[in-house]
Structure 1
Amino acid sequence: MKKILFIFSICFFAFASSQTTRFVYQVSIKTDSTDAKSVKTELANLDISPKESIFYGDNRLKRDSIFSRARQTGSFNFDRTQMQNLQSNIDFTVQKNYSDQNLIYKSRIGRDEYSYTETPHFNWKILPETVKIGDYKTQKAEMNYGGRTWNAWFTTDVPVQDGPYKFSGLPGLIVKIEDTKGDYSFDLMQSKKINAPADFTTRGNIIKVSKANFLKQNEAYRKDPVSAMIAGNTRGNFMQRMTPEQRKQMETRLKKSVTDFNNPIEIK
């Protein structure tokens, strides 16, 4: 066992000494738990550098690039169809720090951006089953997290203990992971070298809270998104500046967004 860990450490050092690698996953999400046909598919990236990684939706990267160019040029005449096509169900980022095993989760609740720090402990059970996925020989593992049972396939061909979303801790990169209900799946599609990890510009303050507080506020928003938008000073002023017609449209859109996406990845 010590010999295996020693070899793994050498491989990891060699991998970590290289430039940043972007692993592209296809993510499938059943957004409505009551509708089997509500599966939405999009791409997400896991950028791995020597000290950390960041996981995020590919559409988030494209939108951020568009806004960055707009700020530089001063032209904010966006193509409405293009921006609608870049909407994402992956409205969060997960940044993992390899030195202390902490991760920072960032997401919006209404118009405000929140973040919390977590050090998840995954109770992985590595199973003897192996299968080849693409070019990788993978081995199966399973564990429970966030109210779901997850099956993962990892490969020691890529000697880094990481994977999509918050998942990590296996002796190799997670190539595929899905929950047993079939609501969420992450499948590695490709990898490529890049100069540096994605760096998202945050405009305004990030509200730092505990995970429990984030979940509590997110649940309150989902129960009554309109009241949640009005609750804060900034959000309230935004709603108060609207005409009655604009406010009605906003209320309809908010309620529909909550109804359409009622199946979060962590259900407890």
Structure 2
Amino acid sequence: MKKIFITGLLFFFSVVTWSQKDSVFVVNIKYNYVVRGNEARNVTFKGAYDLFLLPDYGISVFDKEESKSVVLNKSITDSNIATWMPKGNNLSTLFKNYVKNEMFLKRDINFRFFVQKDSLTIFDWDIKEETKTILGYTCQAAKTTFRGRIYEAWFTTALPVSGPWKFDGLPGAILEVNSLDEYVNWTAVAIVAKNQKPDFAVPDNPFLEDKALTWSEFKTLYKEKAIAASKYVTKEGDKLNIVTPRMGIERYIEEDDKDYQADKVLKKIGNGSN
């Protein structure tokens, strides 16, 4: 077993390995994303996402496939086969800047969206000996505990450092991620990786003009809004039981937090307890 922490050197080694003077290396990985968000672990959400990676520029974009924001076609040979342009509110977009060690995305708190800024150095991976093949690439297993869940990932050193959603920091591209409680899964279903002429537009960060909250600030605001919502009273004086979940993919309110109890109180009432 081997524990590693992501560093800037890890990504820049990948850049040096893949870049060429007269071209830009472009990687497009398509993922299926599945959430099993109930106690029976039935599928409650599924979608198709694209990872668009430019290791020479230290940039990647993860976005919904339906947005058509990523265009990468094996049969096209001109320099403009890979593009990404921000669209709409970018609610499904996650933008990573490896040079600055930061990523941006929008997350909602009680149906209002806020830009969240996170670091890429948030994963402590434990690399295992197990291997398997995904889409023709030999992948190695790694595990980590991340914000409330234990995850198993499979990565390949045959492609540059990258990963779906927030996941990153292994010495290669992460092609599969599974939470051990079966809540969420990302699986690569198609990969295009090739050198292209370097005369196309480099993606811009669509969140630069927005005020960004750190993870700590986001968690604090989430808890404040959850407590406020649980105490909501209408103009008529009726008190509503608005319950905000403590956890989605990430844990926002700790299980032993004593300041927010609305979910536990409502569950207690539902079970008929006094």
TM-score by length of 2: 0.62
Matches within 5 A, 1:1-268: 10-14=16-20, 17-32=23-38, 34-49=39-54, 50-59=57-66, 91-109=91-109, 110-158=111-159, 160-192=160-192, 206-222=210-226, 263-267=247-251
Residue 266 of structure 1 aligns with an amino acid whose one-letter code is: E
CA drift of 1:117 comes to: 3.6
| Unaligned segments of structure 2, at least 5 residues | 1-10, 70-84, 255-274
Q: Which secondary structure state, in structure 1, belongs to the residue aligned with residue 217 of structure 2?
A: helix
Query: Does structure 2 retain, via aligned residues, the 8 Å contact 1:116–1:209?
Result: yes
With over 3 angstroms needed to count, the CA separation of the structure-2 counterparts of 1:104 and 1:200, relative to structure 1, is: closer
Alignment RMSD: 4.2
Q: Which secondary structure state, in structure 1, belongs to the residue aligned with residue 219 of structure 2?
A: helix
**Cα distance in 1, alignment partners of residues 223 and 63 from structure 2:** 22
Q: Which secondary structure state, in structure 2, belongs to the residue aligned with residue 216 of structure 1?
A: helix
CA drift of 1:107 comes to: 2.6
CA drift of 1:126 comes to: 1.2
The answer for the alignment partner of 1:82 in structure 2 is none
CA drift of 1:35 comes to: 4.0
Q: Which secondary structure state, in structure 1, belongs to the residue aligned with residue 124 of structure 2?
A: coil
**Cα distance in 2, alignment partners of residues 191 and 97 from structure 1:** 21
**Cα distance in 2, alignment partners of residues 18 and 30 from structure 1:** 38
CA drift of 1:149 comes to: 1.1
**Number of residue pairs matched by the alignment:** 214
CA drift of 1:25 comes to: 0.7
**Cα distance in 2, alignment partners of residues 153 and 43 from structure 1:** 19
Q: Whose helix proportion is higher, 1 or 2?
A: 1
TM-score by length of 1: 0.63
Q: Which moved more, 1:178-187 or 1:35-44?
A: 35-44
Residue 187 of structure 1 aligns with an amino acid whose one-letter code is: T
CA drift of 1:225 comes to: 5.3
**Cα distance in 2, alignment partners of residues 119 and 7 from structure 1:** 16
CA drift of 1:10 comes to: 4.6
Query: Does structure 1 retain, via aligned residues, the 8 Å contact 2:34–2:43?
Result: no
Query: Does structure 2 retain, via aligned residues, the 8 Å contact 1:45–1:56?
Result: yes
Residue 106 of structure 2 aligns with an amino acid whose one-letter code is: K
Q: Which secondary structure state, in structure 2, belongs to the residue aligned with residue 124 of structure 1?
A: strand
**Cα distance in 2, alignment partners of residues 136 and 266 from structure 1:** 29
**Cα distance in 2, alignment partners of residues 175 and 164 from structure 1:** 8
**Cα distance in 1, alignment partners of residues 67 and 229 from structure 2:** 23
| Unaligned segments of structure 1, at least 5 residues | 69-89, 231-239, 241-251
CA drift of 1:57 comes to: 2.7
**Cα distance in 2, alignment partners of residues 39 and 16 from structure 1:** 46
Taking only the aligned residue pairs, the percentage that are identical comes to 20
